[in-house]
Amino acid sequence: MTLLDSRTFHVHHGQYHTLYANPLGRVFDENLFDPENPELRAEKVSQGGRQAAWFVDLPIDMQGVLRFYRRGGLVGKVVRQRYAWLGAGNTRSWAEFVVMQYLHARIPQHVPAPLAAMYQRFGWSYEAAIIVERVPNVKPLATCLDKADPQVVAKAILAMHEVGVWHADLNAYNILLDAFDQVWLIDFDRARRVTMDDKKRQGNLQRLQRSLQKVCGPDGGLWWQELNRAYLQQ
């Protein structure tokens, strides 16, 4: 497996395999992935993450978001957190870490830094988690549509597409606005680096359209039309 940043450390400890990016360094500490660890002062994330995400205090004077990978749909009702083992590079945490590292190096104003990614193997299956930088004072697009500028959001999405990344679930909760109206894109689980043709670009935008219409009703649809127009004009 090729890592995109030479400053990333791979630590193997028993069943645990972990990637650490600076500034976490190479010291292994499985307690970083334990929301019951009192030193993390973990606070459950109320929206998104399939009820498996926490805000945590990291030992580097930085806050992060710890998220465990959980299945959705019918399969998730039977097998909630185990995935088939297909190699380290194909684990959900490894793949997301690498995509985020690539994006953060190119558009850091729109994508938070990945800090650590872990998988724990159990024979032919595994469980996984990731820790990413927490962006302070943000609100999901779904809750602040009336204050969000469609042109600014379109510019952020376009920036992601222009560096060749397809987002697997671009919805109204995976686009955040901070106190300065800066746009952040999150949750790159199953995202891929690809050649972004028109079909893939519109697929991402139409996924957002469905989400906005579901969450915000007719206002969401009208707002999306402005965003789509701005995207096509840039």
Instruction: Judge whether 196 and 234 are in contact, CB under 8 Å.
Output: no
Is 219 an annotated catalytic residue?
A: no
Phi, psi of 172 (to 5 degrees): -70, -10
SS3 of 32-91: HHCCCCHHHCCEECCCCHHHCEEEEEECCCEEEEEEECCCCHHHHHHCCCCEECCCHHHC
Q: Which of 146, 149, 169, 219 is catalytic?
A: 169
Catalytic residue positions, numbered: 169
